Structure 1
Amino acid sequence: MKVVFVEKPHSLEIREVPVPGPGKGEVLVRVRAGGICGSDMHIYHGTNPLAKYPRIIGHEFAGEVAALGEGVTEYAPGERVAVDPVTSCGTCYPCSIGRPNVCERLEVFGVHRDGGFAEFVALPVKNLHRIPSDWSFEKGALVEPFTIAANVLSRTECSGGDRLLILGAGPIGQVILQAARRLGTACAVADIVDVRLEKARSLGAELTVNTRKDSLEEKAAEWTGGAGVPLIIDAVGSPDLFPSLLRMASPAGRIGLLGFSKEPSSFVQLEAVKKELSIFGSRLNRNKFPEVISWFSGGEVKPELLVSHRFPFEQVREAMKFIEDNPSEVCKVILEF
C-alpha cells in the first residue's frame, strides 16, 4: 500500500509499505479521505515541537472497515467510520478526571505514532466512530476539526449569551465560529485576509476586523461598548498577541488558547488579577466525536463549507505548496484516497 511518509523534516515522499494486519481489539480501516491540518505541514517543515520522526502523517481522516481483529464484534466490513486520533492510558490523573486529551502518556495518530495518510491503517476499535452510510468520506474526515471547536468551547464554557472574539479566520477559526453560532453566541472575528473575513461574515460573524487595516482593540471596545470581551479564543497562536488579549478581555472574562508556540508571551499579572480572568489551554478533543457527529446529523453546522480544494493523496506535496502559496483562496484541503 502507499503512505505519505515524512522521514525527517523537509523529507516527504509517497512510500510503499506492507498492509498492516489488525491486532487484537483493532480494526483495519481502508482510508478514503483525509484533511490536511496545519500541524501536518509543521511536521513536514520540522516546526511541530511534539512530532516524532519518521512518521506517516495525518490525523483528520475517515474510511471504511476492511477487516476485524480478534475480539472485535462492534463493526462489520464496509461500515463507514471517522477516527478519533487521540490515544490515552486510561489510568493517569488526567484520564481519571475525564481529560484523556492531556494524558501523561498521550499519543496522537499522525504525530506521535503513524497516522491516517495511508491506504490502510490498523486502529484500536475504541478510536472509531460509526458515521451514516449516506455521508461522504470527506464529511467524515471533517469531524475531527470540529471536535477542536467543541473542546475549546466546552473548556471556556461558551454560552448563547456570550460575546466571543475569535482570532484567526482559517479552518479552526471557522469551525469555532460555526460551533459558537449554533448556540446563538454573538461572534467577532479578526484576521489579516479579507477573503477569510468575508467567509466569516457569511457564517454569522457580526463584526470582522482586518488587523492590518484597523486596531482590533479599538474595534473590540466599540463592539462591547467599552465593557471588554467576555470570551476570547486565540486560534492564531502568536505569542505577541497575548498582552492584547488581556487588555481586551472584560472583567471576569475567559481566554482560550489553541497555539503551540514555544516562544514566551508577555504576561501582565495586573491585568489578569484585577479582572480575575480565567485562561484556558485547549488541546485536541475530550471524547467529543459523538457530540460533533450529532451536530452534523442534525444540520447544526455545515462542514462542507469548510472545504475549498481536493487533491489525490499522491499529490500531497503539491497540495501543501498550494496551501502555502494561496492563503487567501484556501481553507480546508482534502486528500482523496
Structure 2
Amino acid sequence: MRSVVVQQPGHLEIAERPLPQPAPGEVRIRVKHAGICGSDVHIFHGHNPFAKYPRVIGHEFFGHIDAVGEGVDPARVGERVAGDPVVSCGHCYPCQIGRPNVCTELQVVGVHRDGGFSEAVVIPAGNAHRVPETIPDDRATMIEPFTIAANICSQLQPGPLDVALVYGAGPMGLTTIQALRGVYGVKTVIVADRIDERLEMARVNGADHTINNGRENLADWLTQHGVRPTLIVDAACHPSILPEAISLASPAGRIGIMGFSADPCTISQQGITSKELTIISSRLNSNRFPMVIDWMARGLIQPEKLITHSYPAEQVLEAMETFEKDQKQCCKVLLNF
C-alpha cells in the first residue's frame, strides 16, 4: 500500500508498505480522504516534540472498514467511518473522569503511531465512528477538525447571552466560529486576525464583526463599540494574546486557549481574580466525534465552507506547501487516496 512517510525531519516520501493487519479489538480502514493539519507540517519540519520517526502522518481521515480483528463484530466491515486519533489507556485518572485526550499514556494517530496519510490505517474499533450516508465523503473528513471546536466549546459552555471574541481565522478559529454561531447561538461573534482574506473567510463562516488587529487597535475598537467580550477563544496561539484577553474580558468571562506555544507570557493575577475569570485550555478532543457527527447530520455546521483545496496523495508535498504558505486563499486541504 502507498503511505506518506516522514522518514526524518525534512525528508518525506511516498513509500510502499505492507498492508497492516488489525490486532484484537482493532479495525482496518481503507482511507478515501485525509486532511492536512498544521501539526502534520510541524512533524515534517521536525517541530513536534512528540513525534517519532519514521512516521506515517495524518490524523484527519475518513474511509470504510475493510477488516476487523478478533473480538470485533464482522458486520462492521463496509462501514463508512471517521477515525478518532486519540488512543487512550482507559484506566488512568484523566480517562476515568472522561478526559482521554490527556491520558497519561496518550497516543495520537499520526504522531505517536502511524496515521491516516496512507491507503490503510489500523485503529482501535472504538475509535472508528460510523458516518451516516447523508454526510458526503469529503465533509466527513472534516469531522476531526470540528471536534477541536467541540472540545473547547463544551468546556466554555457558550450561550445566547455571550459576546464572543475569537483570535485567529485559521482552521481552528473558523470551526469554532461555526460552532459558536450554528450550534450554540451566541449573540455576537467578533474575530481578530492580521490577514484580510482570512477575515473574509471568518465572515463567510458566521462572524458578525472582523478586525485586522495588525492595523487596528483591538482594545480601542471594543471600547468604541461598547463591547466587553464574555467569551474569548485564542485560536492564534501567540504569547501576547492571553495577557490582552485577560485585559479585554468582561467580568465573569471565560477564556479558552487552543494553542501549544512554548513561549512564555506575563499575566497579572489581579487581572484574573478581580474579574473572577475562568481560563481553560483544550487539547485534541475527548470523545466528541458523536457530537460533531450529529451537528453535521442536522446541518448545524457547514464543513464544505472550509475545504479550499484537494490533491491526489501523490502530490502531498505540493499540498502541504499550499497549506503552509498560501494563508490568503487556503484553509483546509484534502488528500485523496
TM over 0.5: yes
1:89 aligns with 2:99: no
Per-residue deviation, residues 258-311 of structure 1 (Å, max 9, x unmatched):
110111111122211211111101011111100100110000111111100000
CA distance in 2, matches of 1:333, 1:30: 19
Q: Which residue of 1 aligns with 2:317?
A: 317
Per-residue deviation, residues 122-154 of structure 1 (Å, max 9, x unmatched):
111010100123433211110000000010011
Amino acid at match of 2:61: F
Q: Which residue of 2 aligns with 1:21?
A: 21
Per-residue deviation, residues 26-70 of structure 1 (Å, max 9, x unmatched):
111100000000111111111223322221100000101111211
Matching of residues 1-337 of structure 1 within 5 Å: 1-73=1-73, 75-182=75-182, 183-185=184-186, 186-223=188-225, 225=226, 228-337=228-337
Are the equivalent residues in 2 in contact too, given 1:29–1:65 (CA < 8 A)?
Answer: yes
Normalised by the length of structure 2, the TM-score is 0.96
CA distance in 1, matches of 2:152, 2:98: 15
Shift of 1:23: 1.3
Q: Identity, % of aligned pairs?
A: 50
Are the equivalent residues in 1 in contact too, given 2:205–2:305 (CA < 8 A)?
Answer: no
CA distance in 2, matches of 1:195, 1:34: 25
Shift of 1:9: 1.4
* Paired residue total: 335
What's the RMSD between the two structures over aligned residues?
Answer: 1.3
Gap runs ≥5 in structure 1:
none
Are the equivalent residues in 1 in contact too, given 2:135–2:296 (CA < 8 A)?
Answer: no
Are the equivalent residues in 2 in contact too, given 1:65–1:75 (CA < 8 A)?
Answer: no
CA distance in 2, matches of 1:52, 1:281: 25
Shift of 1:254: 0.9
Amino acid at match of 2:229: V
Gap change, CA 1:49 and 1:218, over 3 Å in 2: farther
CA distance in 2, matches of 1:132, 1:93: 33
Are the equivalent residues in 2 in contact too, given 1:26–1:68 (CA < 8 A)?
Answer: yes
Are the equivalent residues in 1 in contact too, given 2:36–2:323 (CA < 8 A)?
Answer: no
Are the equivalent residues in 2 in contact too, given 1:221–1:248 (CA < 8 A)?
Answer: no
Per-residue deviation, residues 207-228 of structure 1 (Å, max 9, x unmatched):
10011111112223334x15x2
Amino acid at match of 1:199: M
Shift of 1:77: 2.5
Are the equivalent residues in 2 in contact too, given 1:79–1:133 (CA < 8 A)?
Answer: no
Partner-residue secondary structure (3-state), 2:253: strand
CA distance in 1, matches of 2:313, 2:298: 30
Are the equivalent residues in 1 in contact too, given 2:41–2:324 (CA < 8 A)?
Answer: no
CA distance in 2, matches of 1:202, 1:16: 41
Normalised by the length of structure 1, the TM-score is 0.96
Quick check: 22-31 or 72-81, which moved more? Answer: 72-81
Shift of 1:202: 2.2
